[in-house]
Amino acid sequence: MYVYLVRHAQSENNALTAPGLHNPSRRADPGLTRKGEAQVRALERRFAEFVASSSGTTGVEIWTSCMRRCLLTTEGIARGAGTRARCAPALHEHGGCFEGARGARGVVGRRGMTKDEIEDAFEGIDAPEEIEDGWWDPARGCESVRDAQTRGAEVARWLWDKARAMREGAATKADVVLVSHGMFIDILLKTLFDVPRTTGKQGALFCSQNACVHKLHFDVAEDGESVGMQFFNDVTHVPMDVRSGGSVDGLSEAYTKEGSA
């Protein structure tokens, strides 16, 4: 099974001079910038070419975070691939859907988009019944790094289960596209490649530019299982003048100041 991890296009929060939790201009569920919209068009072209080159030899499954910046990105990918996409709430960014600044008032959780809101706004994306009232529980406020790491392990198990089912013929063979977020992609890759997962300052980081693509090969064989990185942070489809994101400092701050992603 081949898995393509895609980071969302540039969001309005990404473009803030200070994108951290302390910035009062930060939005709980931002949309995309003009640059981000150009990046989506680049992804649409890339996945149209990808499907054309595959000659229909395998299907494509597209799964996306329920956060608006990912949904907007996924729209373009699904158009290019000529297929529908599905929401996977577990692919959301570390922290969840929240706003506010640290201090006396703390952070405030928001419910996130509901199933009906997503399907009304994004006609090519299906959402599960479980998010009928919104995909995030406002009572949780801001998810901790530890909880995000636990969620990363659950997504990793889900991917391996899919790979095994495809190998055994219990599921239709397909390439899998996951549209997610910079910090969660870092957490997922660390889980898959057994890199130490800690809180606070990180000794290693997998940095993703906006609209980048990582390609993984999940190999399920009689002599054992392995996952291989076939390419990392590929942005060759994105014109130079609209590339953005991927800084070490930004991702590091997301860990050291929990909730700043």
For residue range 38-48, list pLDDT tens digits in order. 999 999 999 99
Average pLDDT over residues 132-153: 94
User: Above 90 in pLDDT, residue 26?
Assistant: no
Bigger pLDDT: 52 vs 22 = 52
pLDDT of residue 48: 95
Distance CA 251, CA 182 (A): 7
Q: Where do the domains of the chain lie, and which CATH numbers do they carry? A: 2-256 (3.40.50.1240)
User: Above 60 in pLDDT, residue 30?
Assistant: yes
User: Above 60 in pLDDT, residue 102?
Assistant: no
pLDDT of residue 7: 98
Average pLDDT over residues 149-175: 97
Bigger pLDDT: 21 vs 159 = 159
Average pLDDT over residues 81-106: 84
Total Cβ atoms within 10 A of residue 73 = 30
Average pLDDT over residues 82-111: 85
Residues β-bridged to residue 187: none
For residue range 47-85, list pLDDT tens digits in order. 999 988 875 567 899 999 999 999 999 999 999 999 999
